[in-house]
Structure 1
Amino acid sequence: MTHSDVSDASEVKPQDGITSPPHKSGRRPLGLRLDLRNLSLLGVLAVLIAVGGITKPDQFLDTGNLQLVLTQASVIGVVTVGMTFVIISGGIDLSVGAIVALASVWATTVATQEYGFAGILFTAVIVGTACGLVNGVLIAYGRLVPFIATLAMLASARGLALQITGGTTQIVTVDSVLDLGIPDAYVLGIPPLVLVFALVTVVGWLILNRTTFGRRTVAVGGNAEAARLAGIDVRRQRLYLYLLSGLCCGIAAFMLIVLSGSGQNTNGNLYELDAIAAAIIGGTLLTGGRGTIVGSVLGVLVFTTITNIFALNNLQSDVQQIAKGAIIVAAVLVQRRTVRDEHA
């Protein structure tokens, strides 16, 4: 059995309730380790909620603040879903934040807003997907290293976004778009953006765990050469994955437009770092071949909650970044130990 086959089985079987018996060495089966990781993230999230409730009970536990946390998590969460697929395949996408910025400013130009809600949504999604297509072609068929290709897209997209806006903020005047961000649009107290995030998460989980596309993604990340010998078109698969990442960026750009009521060339700043970090602490291996959508979503919620608690307690942003950096380092060290134990 190839490494990719092992990775594939690890993604599907635990979800079906099928677990393999413990290895003779006494190590836990992979499905159980993944479950324990998600449970530990839930524990961390519970501790953070307790900390927020103790330090700022009136503010943190306020319904409006909790809705805000979920809404903020929704935008970066949609980006993270796409990033998770890319990392599982053994790639990386450093351009997601810049793509969100470009899609948001392109979709909020005066000419685009003349077409109303549909024009803004269509433009944001198309621009994001087109950027993903460029990344995919360069990486899959141009044989550029993902780091270099997406870094070039980061610089280009940021530059084009700045050129479109001229450094100014583009205000949205389409009422049907702005109305999605007001409390009257909430469904049973849940903001529409949170519902979009939930839908993207469910679709992402189904694609990864219940489709051939998901199995091929895991196979390519586990062992690309073995996947090729098994009949998988590795280049086409990678192209589709970056298209998926770009699509998620386009959706996130529209959500950000709704949230902020504007388009700015600074939108999506550091989204690439937040998305990669959330995927990593959620259990996605940087080397590819393994990852879960549920873990990535929990990672997003952990980071967003940390940011909210720090903001409520008037802690500076540099302290937030240090805390996030420490969490990333810890997660990578745990990953390395896990991989080492598996190959021991």
Structure 2
Amino acid sequence: MTQPASPARRTTPDPPAAPTGEPPPGRGRRTPLGFRPDIRNLTLLGVLAVLVAVGGITEPDAFLDTGNLQLVLTQASIIGVVTVGMTFVITGGGIDLSVGAVVALASVWATTVATQEYGFTGILFTAVAVGLGCGLVNGVLIAYGGLVPFIATLAMLASARGLALQITDGRTQMVTVESVLDLGVRDSYVLGVPPLVLVFAAVVVLGWLLFNRTTFGRRTLAVGGNAEAARLAGIDIRRHRLLLYLLSGLCCGIAAFLLVVLSGSGQNTNGNLYELDAIAAAIIGGTLLSGGRGTITGSVLGVLVFTTITNIFALNNMESAVQQIAKGAIIVAAVLVQHRTLRTRGET
């Protein structure tokens, strides 16, 4: 007895394959090394080139001097390290308003008489430990305490500034450890590059690898883009947010040590408005303020743009108030451009 033939299966055509080799919006095609040039980064490079030209025209002798260019890079190194940590936090959907105060607290705690008795290692360890401790408090309050990042880090800003003032009693604490001070002199430069710049470069490279080549970086993008979807995908949201603020605190501790090397002292006024500079540099570099998108390379270029602007203003004897107004205007313009871009792409 023959069995009836089974009905023919209904098949549906496979969906068309996605085009290969097409760059995502806002990026160029891949280079032979596998990188995609970002239009925003190229624009920032153009802006930086224009600023260098302006500095060279307005104050050619002073601006183009090797010592001044080394100073620009050194100053960019300190806020640049802070900005790397800020980029991770903002990309993960948070904000950290306490970075400047944490830098101040770490710098004064690391330069007390008791700490300096332990020499180079004691100063470095204390600065990093204080930064990590503040990041831990921020992370616990936000991730496990349920506080809004704005409120938690604002409270840390006030507390850290107050504690720094109490430790110093309003005085400047001078560094007496020669091995620390030696890092700021020209004899310690490597092929004309200050050690602080080398530390900054190392932090940028490690930050870029962590952001672009690890699971941690992908989870940061996922948490910042859609926290609920990330949770359903198995990501521990609270632990990851805690790690983000620990990373920001670590960067603040490193920046505090670099600042101690550069200034040779610890002051409760250190890190003033660092939160403004770090957030601004990250935003104009392409990090989305609402989270879910960020770029370490863009943030570094943003730092260089702001530092160059500050240097040009200083060489031309312009008031610091004008510098702050210019920075505020740049922040507003960058956010407006981001918002308009997202509306054009239909992402909002």
Does the pair score TM above 0.5?
yes
Contact 2:103–2:270 at 8 Å: present in 1 too? yes
Q: Which runs of 5+ in 2 are unaligned?
A: 1-19, 29-35
Q: Within 5 Å, which residues of 2 pair with 1:185-196?
A: 185-196=188-199
Equivalent position of 1:74 in the other structure: 77
Equivalent position of 2:45 in the other structure: 42
C-alpha distance in structure 2 between counterparts of 1:320 and 1:226, whole Å = 41
Equivalent position of 2:27 in the other structure: 31
Q: Which runs of 5+ in 1 are unaligned?
A: 1-17, 22-27
What is the number of equivalent residue pairs in this alignment? 321
Equivalent position of 2:111 in the other structure: 108
Give secondary structure in 1 for the equivalent of 2:38: helix
C-alpha distance in structure 1 between counterparts of 2:104 and 2:324, whole Å = 21
C-alpha distance in structure 2 between counterparts of 1:202 and 1:196, whole Å = 10
Q: 1:31 offset after TM fit, Å?
A: 3.1
Contact 1:84–1:293 at 8 Å: present in 2 too? yes
Give secondary structure in 2 for the equivalent of 1:53: helix
Equivalent position of 2:316 in the other structure: 313
Give secondary structure in 2 for the equivalent of 1:31: coil
2:246 matched to 1:243?
Answer: yes
- In structure 2, do the counterparts of structure 1 residues 72 and 61 end up closer, same or farther at CA, with 3 Å as the change threshold? same
Contact 2:26–2:40 at 8 Å: present in 1 too? no
Contact 1:72–1:304 at 8 Å: present in 2 too? yes
Contact 1:34–1:283 at 8 Å: present in 2 too? no
Contact 2:26–2:39 at 8 Å: present in 1 too? no
Letter in 2 for 1:42: L
Letter in 1 for 2:22: S
Letter in 2 for 1:320: Q
Q: More deviation in 333-342 or 133-142? A: 333-342
2:231 matched to 1:228?
Answer: yes
Letter in 1 for 2:25: P
Q: 1:30 offset after TM fit, Å?
A: 4.0
C-alpha distance in structure 2 between counterparts of 1:160 and 1:167, whole Å = 11
Q: Which has the larger radius of gyration?
A: 2
- In structure 2, do the counterparts of structure 1 residues 34 and 87 end up closer, same or farther at CA, with 3 Å as the change threshold? farther
Q: 1:329 offset after TM fit, Å?
A: 1.1
Letter in 2 for 1:270: L
2:132 matched to 1:139?
Answer: no
2:171 matched to 1:155?
Answer: no
Letter in 1 for 2:27: G
The structure with the greater share of residues assigned to helix is 1
- In structure 2, do the counterparts of structure 1 residues 122 and 88 end up closer, same or farther at CA, with 3 Å as the change threshold? same
Contact 2:115–2:122 at 8 Å: present in 1 too? yes
Q: 1:286 offset after TM fit, Å?
A: 0.5
Contact 2:132–2:249 at 8 Å: present in 1 too? yes
Residue 261 of structure 1, aligned match among 264, 267, 271: 264
Q: 1:101 offset after TM fit, Å?
A: 0.3
TM-score, with length taken from structure 2: 0.91
C-alpha distance in structure 2 between counterparts of 1:29 and 1:288, whole Å = 17
Contact 1:20–1:29 at 8 Å: present in 2 too? no
Equivalent position of 2:22 in the other structure: 20
Q: 1:58 offset after TM fit, Å?
A: 0.4
TM-score, with length taken from structure 1: 0.92
Q: 1:165 offset after TM fit, Å?
A: 0.2
C-alpha distance in structure 2 between counterparts of 1:159 and 1:112, whole Å = 20
2:99 matched to 1:96?
Answer: yes
- In structure 2, do the counterparts of structure 1 residues 294 and 19 end up closer, same or farther at CA, with 3 Å as the change threshold? farther
C-alpha distance in structure 1 between counterparts of 2:322 and 2:333, whole Å = 17
RMSD: 1.2
Percent sequence identity over aligned pairs: 84
Equivalent position of 2:168 in the other structure: 165
